[in-house]
Chains A and B, each alone.
Chain A
Amino acid sequence: MKIKDAQAPVARFRGRFKAYARFMTAAFLVNVKATLEYRVNFILQFFGMMLNNAAFAAFWKVLLDRVGKVGGYGFSDVMLLWALVSSSFGLAHIVFGNVRQLGRIIMEGSLDVYLLQPKDVWLNVLASKTIVSAWGDFAYGYIVLAMMTGTELERFALFTALIIPGALIFAATFAAVESLAFLIGNSSALSSALTEFMLSFSLYPEGVYGTGLRWMLYTIVPSGFVAFLPLRVFRSLDWGLVLLLYLVAALYVGLSYGLFNLGLRRYESGNRMDARL
């Protein structure tokens, strides 16, 4: 009887984990289906994003052919940086497509539909949408990876292992700033600023930023954890540090989740008639 009692929380956790894994898979598949419903749009957005990224690749090629290195990064470093950031950012928006709509949903009082469902509100609202163009970003990283390092399986595995915490950190950071809508009402300006900061700082060599900025890149604008540290890990094939990145991602997710739930107590419904289709 006692052994049974001790095992109960573990079994319950395992059960809930499985249920959420099923839920996330189902949400993902529904989103994919919805995306493929508009095939032309999907293909256009997919290639549009890749084209956008390729334009910057051309810029770096031209510049680095002239100067060799910028901030300690050569062409392959910059390309791998873009690959990591692009795939992480893409993955975050494929799986948690509502992440940058969260503030608007809160502000309009449209959380009711998620509050009434028997799943965690935060996860449910974030995973209930996918962003079509994000597939282009996601794929771009792998294409660059194949072009820069070949098709070595270990590199692909390490790359995938690195973009998952990157995506979680992206999503958690964006969700945290969007959750400020509970406290300040309209958080869109702050959210846009953080998105610009995070993407812009992540896509350029770490060495170009002075030491005064570095602390920011490993705290409130965590470009260091989605771009610079993963690049170092990828370069050195150091699997040990991957675990550290997962712990950092767990910390960011925990803080973001906590902030959302803290704010949720102040939530006021907009009495809207919404339905999830």
Chain B
Amino acid sequence: MSRLQKTLRKYALAASTAMSERIAYPGNFVGSMFTYALFVFIFSRVWAGAYAGATEIAGYTMSMAVWYFIIAEIPSFGFGRFFSTLSRDMKSGQIAYLLARPYDFIGYSMAEKLGGSLMEAGIILAEGLVVGLVLVGLPPAIASGYPAGSSSLALEAARSGFLVVSLLLAGALNFFLQIALAMTAFWLEENEAFFWIFQKFALVVGTLIPIEFLPEKVARIAVWTPFPYLSYAPARIMVAFSPAEALSLVARQALWVFMALLLARAVFASGSRRLSVNGG
């Protein structure tokens, strides 16, 4: 077995252990599922009110807006809460035990946190599909501009594939940005404020509302930040799929994941030098 294979196996094991832990307590999913369904229901009513005098707003129909919200909320529910456990590990000194072990701290944390949350994200996605079908019917048809000769089945498969990849990239981006924020605990005891600001930007820029709804100038700035790639990208793929746009969105997501990884590594390299461990 090559060294790379061994390393991958190690992290895969960490991810599957975290997932098994989550599955062992299925009751823990109930709260998230309930809140998610309530949010989707209320927002479907809000959108119904907003579309009372219009069939289309900023290029979105009511069905698109509801389905957009259903998908955009999945990263928030599935991947939106890494910060608190990561930050707690730093402050409690738990990190001292993690650093001494034979694995890369960021890689291991990613496997553990992201692996553990995949099950929850999957359940929320399945729930969202059911709730969406009940509230507004089938997801919007695939947007125009297909490659000539492609069958609708192949395109539906492509949409599903891009959606899953985009959700996974949203999870990875969420993780790297949140661990970078959590590692500010190397310098500051009270670092929650950074996370709150991050969370609220993510909420406004692409989660509650598509970025096409934002004023033009704001939207133009927003696309240069990582926020649209946390939830806008998968939601847009779901409601207005075209292979070219999906490819572009996924590529930009991947680029942001890479940059966020570099940021996390830089913060870790700088911050871990300041770590002082006391006690036995």
Contacts and interface: CB of A to CB of B under 8 A. Distances in A.
Interface of A: 40-41, 44, 47-48, 51-52, 54-56, 58-59, 62-63, 65-68, 70-71, 189, 192-193, 196-197, 200-201, 204-205, 207-210
B196 A200 contact: no
A66 B192 contact: no
Contact of B34 (A41, A196, A207): A196
B197 A51 contact: yes
Contacts of B193: 44, 47-48
Contact of A44 (B35, B192, B200): B192
15 contacts: A47-B193, A56-B208, A58-B204, A62-B209, A62-B213, A65-B215, A66-B213, A70-B50, A71-B45, A71-B49, A193-B34, A196-B35, A204-B45, A205-B46, A205-B49
Given A62-B209, A207-B49, A208-B46, A40 B190 contact: yes
A66 B57 contact: yes
B38 interface: yes
A208 B34 contact: no
Contact of B57 (A41, A58, A67, A209): A67
Interface in B201-235: 203-204, 208-209, 213-215
Contacts of B42: 200-201, 204, 208
B196 A197 contact: no
B58 interface: yes
A207 B46 CA distance: 9
A17 B58 CA distance: 58
B277 interface: no
A200 B208 CA distance: 14
Contacts of A41: 190
B173 to A, nearest CB: 19
B199 to A, nearest CB: 8
For the complex of A and B, list the 10 residue pairs with the smallest distance between their C-beta atoms, beginning with the closest: A55-B200, A208-B45, A71-B49, A70-B49, A208-B49, A59-B208, A48-B196, A67-B50, A58-B204, A70-B50
Contacts of B100: none
Given A66-B57, A200-B38, A208-B46, 10 more contacts: A40-B190, A44-B190, A62-B209, A62-B215, A70-B52, A192-B31, A192-B34, A196-B38, A204-B42, A209-B45
